[in-house]
Amino acid sequence: MSNDDALTALTAWFSGQAERPELPETWDEAWTLCAVEEAVRLERSEHARRGIPRQITTDTQLDVGIWTRHCERTLGKTGIAPMHLGWFRLHASGKLCRLGRLQFAIETTQWDDVPGLEKGDSVLGMHIPAEAPLDIAECRKSLAAAFPFFDTHFPELPPAKAIVCSSWMLGDWLPEAAGVGGSLDQFQQLFHLLPGSHSPGSACYFIFGYREVDPATAPRDTTLRRNLLALLEADKPVNSGRCYLLRGEVER
């Protein structure tokens, strides 16, 4: 399969019309960016069809710049790492929207350990974009806007019962490592927390830019980096976490 053929196949996959293709050996970050451009075109079309305000679409598509800068910073290449194609398939669906500080996507849950929530229930999956301060007041505004927004613009879908998230930013090691009382600690306190899996690679990826980090050479220029490296050197758990907030619990 040529790169052009793979790009065509990815467009069909973004649209839900085909399986994800195997990418050729010649595929690279620049070609991934070409595919992402098609994904955001599909997203713009779907948002417009649903009457979603243009500013929300523009804000949602800030992801393209975030991930191209990440690629340049970590790989020294122009484009987007192929590992993020799945994320941009969500963009292509039109179901992802950035509402202020936070992003949400309407989906069905597979969790079975949340009171009042069953597998298959409609939920809003929450995501936390990089490159912006974790302002707690702005996060509260995003949470308050989420249910009314999706009720309005996705009326054919069952109303979401909860906001849910799985992230390295919800690990129980993080408040102490980042600073008790700091923004990450305050962010966790907005939700009910649930245990996650041991996932040091995820934390390293978002804190350093790489899933595997050598503590002997990794930069120690922030408190969070120093404390994460100390945990890795001591072979202590670095887990992700999960959180939820039921519809009736969101502050308006």
252, pLDDT greater than 70 = no
* 99-252 maps to CATH 3.40.630.120: yes
Contacts 24+ apart (CB under 8 A), 44-49: 45/94, 46/93, 46/94, 47/94, 47/97, 49/94
* Predicted structure pTM score: 0.93
Chain segment 56-94, per-residue pLDDT in tens: 999 999 999 999 999 999 899 999 999 999 999 999 999
- The DSSP output letter for 82 is G
Chain segment 100-132, per-residue pLDDT in tens: 999 999 999 999 999 889 999 999 999 999 999
Do the bridges between strand 122-127 and strand 162-167 make them parallel or antiparallel, or are there none, so unpaired? parallel
52, pLDDT greater than 90 = yes
Listed in sequence order, the DSSP H helices in 3-53 are 3-14, 29-49
Arithmetic mean of pLDDT, 20-42: 96
* % of the chain surpassing 70 pLDDT: 100
- The DSSP output letter for 129 is -
Q: From the centroid of its chain, how far is CA 83?
A: 13
Residue ranges with strand state E in the chain: 96-99, 102-108, 122-127, 162-167, 192-198, 239-246
Domain boundaries, the chain: 1-94, 99-252
Any residues with CB less than 8 A from the CB of 252 and at least 6 apart, and which? 144
